[in-house]
Structure 1
């Protein structure tokens, strides 16, 4: 059984990649970008492990156009993430996009075999750490140093699309929990919205990492 430490999932996100996507946010990141808006997803926490085969069944059974992996740091669990993608594609040939705080050049030159397998399974990659002083309203990215790589021809038609923010997806659950997904177009968004809604930092307000 292959296990993946998972912080959160969402079956129908429209702001983290093309179309409506199933998003998996992994738990654990050793990069530590200043200004990260999901610090609760930085520590390694094996109590949040999920069976890859069961997760793949759930992903493939949804109506999503693709799969996006964020976090946390997906390449810290590259073997398990690559196994998840392979298991999903045995069921459905979905588009796959991932985020990483590493650069593509670093992963290609210094990555582990598992990281190379993960790279080879991706259609789209957003690379580089989030830099708060370079905050920008870019498509699916949080700062101007980050790049969107088209690793296959699957989404080639998007290469010349306008490079502007995809916005945020905001939801209110039945228990009145507020949740947002996406990449904020302004720095300090987490603190701003918590101050205005009178929230305290906790897992009752789910946050996507600012990438």
Structure 2
């Protein structure tokens, strides 16, 4: 596999418990070729912007995080930077073999399986995939995903048990950054969540950072 040395990243989070099983790091990539109506992370859609990170830098960061079992890849569209993400997972697992990987994609699993070599390479390295475009009219407060058309697909035995667990919203987490600003992560349980949250926070004098979240 030809390794890509860098990733365009919208945001990272050291620890999250609402975007996949257990405690996980999260990487939101910058750029998405899809334009799902109502996407709650619209700032991650343009391929312009974001911050460039070396794959080795991100691997060091993930390997040094204590108390997490894996990483969730979101965005943006992770499969638009599939080669670099596959290389990242290889780097991390050479040092932490038990490290798990979950990804969101607006593409269907079947499409990814028939896709270019880099998308198939990333798919082979995942334990869990949430697939399909976000459809606002099908939002029902489901676990880890924004709308009922999306699926949680276990790609290895590591997370085969998730299919038997309750399918209800995992909620969202709000974090305060070192500069005093607030950010949040998770799959909103209802349409319009972001706008409502920003309005309520603004009324109390808080500003929400314009960073990447996940609904699709």
Q: TM-score range by the shorter chain?
A: over 0.9
Partner of 1:78: 82
Q: In the alignment, which of 105, 122, 132 is matched to residue 100 of structure 1?
A: 105
**Is the partner of 2:34 in helix, strand or coil?**
coil
Q: Does residue 22 of structure 1 match 2:25?
A: yes
What whole-Å deviation, never above 9, does each CA across 1:130-175 have from its counterpart, x for those lacking one?
A: 1111112111001000000000001122220001111111112243
Q: 1:178: how far off?
A: 1.2
TM-score (norm 1): 0.94
Q: How many residues were matched structurally? A: 208
**Is the partner of 2:146 in helix, strand or coil?**
strand
Instruction: Give the distance between the partners of 1:123 and 1:51, measured in 2 at CA.
Output: 23
Q: How does 1:19-168 map to 2 (within 5 A)?
A: 19-45=22-48, 48-63=51-66, 64-93=68-97, 94-109=99-114, 111-168=115-172
Against the structure 1 CA distance between its residues 99 and 143, is the aligned structure 2 distance closer, same or farther, given a 3 Å change threshold? same
Give the superposed CA RMSD: 1.6
Instruction: Give the distance between the partners of 1:129 and 1:22, measured in 2 at CA.
Output: 23
Instruction: Give the distance between the partners of 1:47 and 1:129, measured in 2 at CA.
Output: 22
What whole-Å deviation, never above 9, does each CA across 1:34-61 have from its counterpart, x for those lacking one?
A: 1111111111136621100111011011
Against the structure 1 CA distance between its residues 191 and 46, is the aligned structure 2 distance closer, same or farther, given a 3 Å change threshold? closer
Instruction: Give the distance between the partners of 2:146 and 2:94, measured in 1 at CA.
Output: 32
Specify every segment of 5 or more residues in structure 2 that has no aligned partner in the other structure, as ranges.
none
Q: Does residue 197 of structure 1 match 2:186?
A: no
Please tell me whether the aligned partners of residues 182 and 208 of structure 1 are also in contact (alpha carbons under 8 angstroms): yes
TM-score (norm 2): 0.91
Specify every segment of 5 or more residues in structure 1 that has no aligned partner in the other structure, as ranges.
none
Please tell me whether the aligned partners of residues 9 and 50 of structure 2 are also in contact (alpha carbons under 8 angstroms): no
What whole-Å deviation, never above 9, does each CA across 1:43-94 have from its counterpart, x for those lacking one?
A: 1136621100111011011121111100000000111111111111111120
